[in-house]
Amino acid sequence: MRTRTSNLTAAAALVCMLGAAAAGAGVFARQAPPQPQPQQTPQPQATPTEAVRAVSPPRNPLPPEEKSAAVTRFSFIVYGDTRGRRDGVEVQYEHSLVVDSMLAAIKRLEKTNYPVRFVLQSGDAVVDGRDPRQWNASFVDLINRLTVEGGVPYFLAPGNHDVTGASALDSPERQKGLRNYLSAVGQLIPPDGAARRLAGYPTYAFGYGNTFVLALDSNIAGDDVQFNWARAQLEGLDRNRYTNVVAFFHHPPFSSGPHGGARVGAQAALVRSRWMPLFRAHNVKAVFAGHEHLFEHWVERYTDAAGKPRRLDMVITGGGGAPIYSHSGEPDVSAYEKANEASKVRLEHLVRPGPARGDNPYHYVVVQVDGERMRMDVFGVDWGAGFRPYRSNRVALEDEAAPRQ
């Protein structure tokens, strides 16, 4: 018994010694300096602001103005409002249908007397021009198809969705959108400092053949610098060469969609009161606008300073892919006609949009220049392929009874 007790006592003592050693080791471990840890995977840093990709320059750029002076026959395309429901996520689907049809028209006309020489877009390229992803994911590659595959120059006037509707040039939100706009179209429009570009503005002009084109930013329609620059461009034109002058911008002076009718927006009111008299003074033949996602056509008749009857066509072509609008009411133009009665101004609403959205398809127009004469074909797209706004899809941008020159 004595031996067994001694053995148990010795074993207990050994357990106590081991426990004390373990406890001491625990204390030592807590006091020891930390051991090197395995290398950790670096955490992702904040992504820098995405840069807007530039649209590729056209495969067949316009020649210098003096090189095309003898050209009197060609065509150009006009459309607008391409912003899509999935901007920033995927390519604009409805816009892609329009581009498909335009490419077919470019190819069809390529070997005729009226090849397509350029495309005009009247604004609202994307839903929010301040977001670079919308330009990159949804817009730029579609326009690359026109400039590379189609080979034609592409000119975009800024809409309110592109640079915001701010009228102040230094608005921070406008500046965000403007930077992205200029990044996208920097290889397409005249460079800053060129004679046909207003420095620091998305306002520019160009001449091809017998036609002069003026691109305006109607978001800042009240800006004096832009107005005076445009006036100087028109005053300095050789009208023996440039028998046709057209302008394009976003906000139409007259419309009957949700932005028109009884409601006259600030930009539209400024285009009416300030720009329309300038266009009449210089016998501008046609203006193209968007903003309303539909098609309509106005004609302003007036008498020029020499007493000659004139006609100015105003075409709204906003069917480039944005959600379709419909007729919302006729604007009251009586005050405008009264204010301009010295020029015998009279307005005609040649084509009204339909009362249902299904009446107003996605579309674009092809303008054919034939000397001093211009005519226009309207092409509906997809389900609107049979669109016939004039009982046909063709109209002359002049009075049919006008004698040929």
Cα distances (angstroms) measured from residue 353 to each of 261, 293, 315, 359, 379: 12, 10, 12, 7, 15
pLDDT for the residue numbered 278: 98
Beta strands per DSSP E along 105-229:
116-121, 154-156, 204-208, 211-215
**Closest CA relative to residue 72, chosen from 394, 369, 383, 380:** 369
Given a cut of 90, whether residue 317 has pLDDT beyond it is: yes
* Res 78: pLDDT: 99
* Chain mean position to CA 327: 23
Q: Does residue 302 surpass a pLDDT of 60?
A: yes
154 pLDDT tier (thresholds 50, 70, 90): very high
Q: Which of 30-34, 58-62, 162-166, 178-182 shows the lowest mean pLDDT across its residues?
A: 30-34
pLDDT at 401: 60
Q: Of the given ranges (25-34, 240-249, 272-281, 311-320), which has the lowest mean pLDDT?
A: 25-34
Name the burial class of residue 62, with classes exposed (0-12), middle (13-18) and buried (19+) by CB atoms within 10 angstroms of its CB: middle
pTM value > 0.95:
no
CB under 8 A, 24+ apart: contacts of 141-147: 141/91, 142/82, 142/91, 142/92, 142/95, 142/96, 142/99, 143/55, 144/55, 144/56, 145/99, 145/103, 146/99, 146/102, 146/103, 146/106, 146/119, 147/55, 147/56, 147/57, 147/58, 147/59, 147/188
Spatial separation of the C-alpha atoms in residues 213 and 248, rounded to whole Å:
8
- AA identity, residue 27: V
**355-381, pLDDT tens digit by residue?**
998 999 999 999 999 999 999 999 999
User: Contact 252/260 with Cβ under 8 angstroms?
Assistant: yes
Q: What is the mean pLDDT of the chain?
A: 90
pLDDT value of position 42 = 40
As a whole number of angstroms, the distance between CA 213 and CA 205 comes to 6
- Position 280 pLDDT exceeds 90: yes
Is the pLDDT assigned to residue 15 strictly greater than 50?
no
Please give the Cα distance from 26 to 223 (Å, whole number). 79
- Section 335-343 average pLDDT: 97
DSSP 145: I
- Between CA 128 and CA 159 the distance in angstroms is 10
Q: What is the pLDDT of residues 40-96, one digit of tens each?
A: 334 434 345 799 999 999 999 999 999 999 999 999 999 999 999 999 999 999 999
Average pLDDT over residues 214-220: 98
Numbers of helices and strands, H then E, in the chain = 10, 13
Q: Coil, helix or strand for 360?
A: coil
Query: At residue 13, does pLDDT exceed 80?
Result: no
- The answer on pLDDT for 3 being more than 70 is no
Radius of gyration of the chain (CA): 32
Token pair recorded at residue 93: 């689907």
Residue 314 is predicted with a pLDDT of 98
- Under a CB-based contact definition with an 8 Å cutoff, are residues 235 and 282 in contact? yes
Domains, the chain, in order of start with CATH, read 71-396 (3.60.21.10)
Residues in the chain: 405
At residue 61, the pLDDT reads 98
What does the pLDDT average to over 202-221? 98
Give the closest residue to 233 by CA, choosing from 270, 195, 192: 195
3-state secondary structure (DSSP) of residue 63: coil
Q: What is the pLDDT of residues 62-71, one digit of tens each?
A: 999 999 999 9
- Residue 48: what pLDDT? 54
First to last CA, the chain: 139
How, if at all, do strands 286-289 and 244-248 pair?
parallel
Question: 208 forms bridges with which residues in the sheet?
Answer: 211
Say if residue 1's pLDDT is above 60: no
Which three-class secondary structure state does DSSP give residue 71? coil
Lowest mean pLDDT among 14-18, 187-191, 261-265, 266-270: 14-18
Most distant CA pair in the chain, distance: 141
- The predicted-structure confidence for 229-264, as pLDDT tens digits, reads as follows 999 999 999 999 999 999 999 999 999 999 998 888
Tell me the per-residue pLDDT of 191-201, one tens digit each, with 9 for 90 and over.
999 999 999 99
- The DSSP bridge partners found for residue 211 are 208, 244
Distance, CA of 204 to CA of 157 (rounded, Å) = 9
If one counts every other C-beta atom within 10 angstroms of the C-beta of residue 225, the result is 14
**What's the CA gap between 253 and 264, in Å, rounded?**
9
pLDDT band, very low/low/confident/very high, at 97 (cuts 50, 70, 90): very high
